[in-house]
Amino acid sequence: MKEIVMQDTIVRRKTCRLCDGKDLKAVLELAPSPLADSYIPQSRLSEPQELYPMDLYLCGTCGFSQMLDVVQPQAIYFDYIYETKSSLGLVEHFGRYCDEVVKRIGLKPGSLVVDLGSNDGSLLSFFKKKGMKVLGIDPAREIARKATESGVETWAELFGSKLAEKIKREKGAAALITANNLYANVDDLFDITDGIKKLLAPDGVFVFETFYLADLMENMVFDFIYHEHISYFSAKPLKAFFAGRGMELVDAQRVPTKGGSVRYTAQLAGGPRKASPAVAELIAHEERLGIQTAESFKKFNARIDAAKNKLVSLLRELRAKGKTLAGFGASPTTTTLIYHYGITDMFDYIVDDNAQRHNLFSPGKHIPVLPPETLYERKPDYVVILAWRYAEPIMAKLGRYKAQGGRFIVPLPEVKVI
């Protein structure tokens, strides 16, 4: 039986987030953990950090995968510390994203672009350089303030239908609304989608990028499951959802970010753009894989367990031999990985490139986060690359550590010692 401490900050849904159906079955149960990105300073070490459920449910009506235990957004986002620019290659990705979207939808200078979950304004800055009017919406108060100071006007708000009406009154209708790595974080998809519908110009489009369930499974990116990510999208249930909200899914492009994502495009129902065959092709791909079935999650869970057993066995063996271990990567995915694998006590410290994380402590177990230079001073025998999707560039940057005799362990998608 899982030991879970519940608080008012968490609520339990009883219906599917997309279709409102009640036929919901637990298909993947991960170990409860603290809020995945709640890295804290030393002054807060005495504060309790509760554990919350990490279970995925499958809707038998529409095939949508989701968390039903929802942490209230105020508990996560108002004092959020993650910034887009801290993710390796993401700013460059957004530059290409802007170029592609402007060209594909024929966006003209002077058009209003609204980015939901705009964070530090990285994406909007590219649209602004192309002569667009831009507005960011992000509830992280300090990040929104800094983005505005940098020249990207950002409102520290949670977007919904009421805010959409205010934006439209003050700024006009939006030619483009974007939401990248945000749509999966919203519990009330009915309200946010109704807001998008209200704010869009008649020929406007909604473009959102989100991690893709099929890629998450195939690429073993299970550590991308954490409390912020309450929806695990695929094209088939999304198409039906938009049709039910007076909108239409017209395109779906595969992109490599976040371990495999899809850039979806939607318009108002009856809008001017013809649906791309890519949507039907993606749905056919999902049906071949069977990702909207409980059996697919059973197989996924077996793969997670096999990788877990290999890594845990290896780390225990090394610790028994007196070897020292450090982790690399102080991110939300690290929290999921080390809690589900039960290896929170294996590391004396974690190092990270992001200076904003230095001298903080990991969620729950309070492992110190230190600069990468610590590896050259303390010379641990092994570095476990917890940010394993970036293993190659991380190892390339740590050539000096390797030259000193250090070794790397990559935990996923298969355990490797390098």
Burial class for 204, CB neighbours closer than 10 Å (0-12, 13-18, 19+): buried
Q: Cβ(143)–Cβ(136) under 8 Å?
A: no
The pLDDT value given to residue 90: 73
Pick the CATH number of 295-417 from 1.10.3720.10, 3.40.50.720, 3.40.50.2000, 3.40.50.300: 3.40.50.720
The topology (CATH level 3) of 84-279 is: Rossmann fold (3.40.50)
**In the predicted model, what is the mean pLDDT of the chain?**
93
Write out pLDDT tens, residues 67-77: 999 987 766 65
Across the strands, what pairs with 349?
none
Query: Would you give the DSSP letter of residue 60?
Result: T
What is the token pair recorded at 209? 């990028």
Beta-carbon-side half-sphere exposure of residue 227 (alpha carbons within 13 Å): 28
The pLDDT value given to residue 93: 82
Please state the domain extents for the chain: 10-68, 84-279, 295-417
Residue 120 pLDDT exceeds 70 = yes
Diameter of the chain measured on Cα atoms: 67
CA separation for the pair 228, 203 (Å, rounded): 32
DSSP 36-55: TT--B-GGGTTS----EEEE
pTM across the whole model: 0.91
Burial class for 301, CB neighbours closer than 10 Å (0-12, 13-18, 19+): middle
The pLDDT value given to residue 2: 37
The pLDDT value given to residue 86: 56
Q: Cβ(273)–Cβ(250) under 8 Å?
A: yes
- Side by side, which strands form the sheet with 350-351? 369-370, 350-351, 325-328, 382-385, 407-410, 416-417
Residue 63 pLDDT exceeds 50 = yes
Write out pLDDT tens, residues 309-338: 999 999 999 999 999 999 999 999 999 999
CA separation for the pair 361, 262 (Å, rounded): 33
What is the three-class DSSP state of 120?
A: coil
Q: Cβ(51)–Cβ(4) under 8 Å?
A: yes
Residue 263: which of 105, 147, 120 has the closest Cα?
A: 105
Residue 285 pLDDT exceeds 70 = yes
Across the strands, what pairs with 176?
113, 205
Share of the chain above pLDDT 70, in %: 94
Residue 87 pLDDT exceeds 70 = no
Three-class DSSP labels, 309-367: HHHHHHHHHHHHCCCCEEEECCCHHHHHHHHHHCCCCCCCCEECCCHHHCCCECCCCCC
Of the listed ranges 21-30, 134-143, 261-270, the least confidently predicted one is 134-143
Categorize the per-residue pLDDT at 3 as very low, low, confident or very high, splitting at 50, 70 and 90: very low
Q: Cβ(234)–Cβ(292) under 8 Å?
A: yes
Instruction: Give, in order, the Cα–Cα distances in Å from 30 to each of 211, 270, 301.
Output: 18, 42, 9
Query: Would you give the DSSP letter of residue 275?
Result: P
Q: How many residues comprise the chain?
A: 418
The pLDDT value given to residue 6: 40
Write out pLDDT tens, residues 162-199: 999 999 999 999 999 999 989 999 999 999 999 999 99
What is the three-class DSSP state of 103?
A: helix
Q: Cβ(17)–Cβ(64) under 8 Å?
A: yes
Across the strands, what pairs with 265?
207, 251
The pLDDT value given to residue 1: 27
The pLDDT value given to residue 75: 63
Instruction: Give, in order, the Cα–Cα distances in Å from 281 to each of 53, 211, 225, 270, 272.
Output: 34, 18, 26, 21, 21
The pLDDT value given to residue 83: 60
Radius of gyration in angstroms for the set of CA atoms belonging to the chain, rounded to a whole number: 22
The pLDDT value given to residue 74: 67
Q: What's the rounded mean pLDDT across residues 62-84?
A: 76
Categorize the per-residue pLDDT at 88 as very low, low, confident or very high, splitting at 50, 70 and 90: low
What is the three-class DSSP state of 253?
A: strand
Instruction: Give, in order, the Cα–Cα distances in Å from 351 to each of 84, 223, 357.
Output: 19, 18, 9
Q: Cβ(260)–Cβ(254) under 8 Å?
A: yes
Residue 8 pLDDT exceeds 70 = no
Residue 210 pLDDT exceeds 90 = yes
